[in-house]
Amino acid sequence: MYPFRDDALRVWRAIESFVRAYVWRWYASDEAVADEAFLHAWGATPSLAPTEGGVAGFVAPQDREALSRALTLVVYTASAQHAAVNFPQFPLMSFAPLMSGAGWSDAPGAVDERGGIAAFLPPRPVARQQAELLHLLSSVCHAPLGGFDEGWFDDREVGEMVERFQHELRSLDDEIDRENDARRWPYPYLRPSRVPRSVNI
C-alpha cells in the first residue's frame, strides 16, 4: 500500500544487518570504538560549521551500536534514499505542465485567462532542456548496492558477510519485483539492483 515505506524499510534492514556485522568484526568491544581517534575526528566533522557538514547535534559514536546506527544512516542516505529521490525525476517531472521547474510569468489571474497558463509554463526549448537534464540525472546508476570489485575486501570473514548481504539483496530484489506485479502502480526505485551503492552524480 505504501511502496516507498515498505521497500525502504526492507533495504534499511539489509544495510543495517551488513553494517552491524562489519562493525562487530573490526571492533572487539565498545571501548575500542570509544578509543578510536579516527572515529572521534570523523564524528566531530559533521557538527562543525555549515561549510563543514552542519549536522547539529551529531557526536562521535562511543560504542558499537551507536557506530552501527550512524554508518547505516550514512550508507542508506547515499544509496537507497538518493535512489528514491533521484531516479523518479524523469518519469515524474519531465512533463513540463505537471512540473514546470519555475514560473515564467506572473501567475495567471484565472484558469481560463487566455494564454495565461501557457505563458506561465517554460518555453518549449527550456522544457526540452529540463526533460533532457532529468533524463540524464535519472539514468546514471553505476555499481549497485552490495557490488564490490574483486579484492575490495581481503578479509575472508568480511567476504562471507558481503556474500550474505548480496544474497539478501537479490532475494529482496525478487520480492519487490513480485510485489510490483500486484501494485496498482509499480515502484521500481528501491529494487536493490537499481540502487547504486553511493550517489553517482
How is 46-64 classified by DSSP, letter by letter? GGS-GGGT--TT-----SH
Span between the terminal Cα atoms of the chain, in Å: 30
The reply to whether 106 and 170 lie within a common domain is no
The reply to whether 114 and 17 lie within a common domain is no
Give the number of domains in the chain.
Answer: 2
Inter-residue contact 59 to 14 (CB < 8 Å): no
Q: pLDDT tens for residues 172-181?
A: 999 999 999 9
Q: pLDDT tens for residues 78-97?
A: 999 999 999 988 888 888 88
Confidence band for 114, pLDDT divided at 50, 70 and 90: low
The reply to whether 18 and 98 lie within a common domain is no
Domain of 9 in residue numbering reads as 1-31+65-87+144-201
The reply to whether 199 and 150 lie within a common domain is yes
Residues sharing a CB contact under 8 Å with residue 179, sequence separation 6 or more, in sequence order? 3, 6
The reply to whether 134 and 111 lie within a common domain is yes
The reply to whether 8 and 77 lie within a common domain is yes
The reply to whether 163 and 200 lie within a common domain is yes
What average pLDDT does this structure show over 120-131? 87
What share of the chain in percent tops pLDDT 90? 52
- Asked if residue 33 has pLDDT above 80, the reply is yes
pTM score above 0.75: yes
